[in-house]
Amino acid sequence: MTTQHDGTQHDRTQHDRARAFRTLHRPSSPLALANAWDVASARLIEAAGSAAVATTSAGVAWSLGAADGNEIDRERAVDLVARIAAAVDVPVSADIESGFGATAAEVGETVAQVIAAGAVGVNIEDAHTDPAVPLRPAAEQAARIAAARAAAEATGVPLFINARTDTYLSGALDESVRLRETLDRARTYLAAGADGIFVPGVTDLAEVAALTDGIDAPVNILVGSGAPSVADLARCGVARISLGSSVVLSAYAVVRRAIEELLGTGTYGGLANGLEYGELNALMRRAD
């Protein structure tokens, strides 16, 4: 164990995982993440050979009975991060939405709690819950990122801060200014202490290449059905690729189809090709 000046202790393994997680962000061989929403999904991701586990804020919120979009309380979200981090041996990065706090100081407190829960990375988004102002002003978001960095430094854990900008996903900006605004925000967020930039909502390869060319840090792209392959995105310089909420949405689609079939035709074809009970049960029994 290592003890920080504030008396907080962190397992040396967490430091090692944090350093290892940083090295996984390589444009030539991007980190491909299937995002987890509970312990079972996290263990399935690890068992499949993934080098890390990242959470999906949407999946976490839905699994805990809340809507996505800063509606879940911080305590419940951090508790789930702790359970996932304790259940796997690979680095864990937590999607903390916009930081679960109205102020920069509150974002810093969230980050301190997430690190204490065992995470070595976070996603912090600049989307605003006010529909009239979909994006926070860049300077305001930079202050929140700076508070996150300061909180991480106080623990001594080299946290990877993935600064998400919703310049594309929100639809708030005209196409003529979207790329420039994204690059400007990326520079601002990196100067504030971010380590990488996450730009969901863009998969056009030319646009992706323009982003990676203009951002001096690992770039994360959100993918799903119909998006370019990992190999194509790697050729464009992408260092991290995330499935986001796509996996949990697909899982819940199976639930709905199975129930509709049961109540409609009274048949069970939608349950074909499921996991074997023994396989999943054995995975959950794994010795810690």
**What's the pLDDT tens digit per position in 94-134?**
999 999 999 999 999 999 999 999 999 999 999 987 777 89
pLDDT above 90 as % of the chain: 92
61, 54 Cβ separation under 8 angstroms: no
Give the Cα separation of 221 and 242 in Å (integer). Answer: 6
Give me the sheet containing 219-222, strands edge to edge.
31-33, 240-242, 219-222, 196-198, 160-164, 121-125, 92-95, 53-54
Please compute the mean of the pLDDT values over residues 225-254 and round it to a whole number: 98
> In the numeric block, which tokens belong to residue 101?
């706090």
Q: 221: number of CA atoms within 13 Å, CB side?
A: 27
pLDDT score at 4: 41
> In the numeric block, which tokens belong to residue 143?
């202050």
Burial class (CB in 10 A: 0-12, 13-18, 19+), 230: middle
Note the pTM of the prediction, 2 decimals: 0.94
pLDDT score at 287: 53
pLDDT higher than threshold 60 for residue 35: yes
pLDDT band at 273 (very low <50, low <70, confident <90, very high): very high
pLDDT above 70 as % of the chain: 96
Please name the amino acid found at residue 52: A
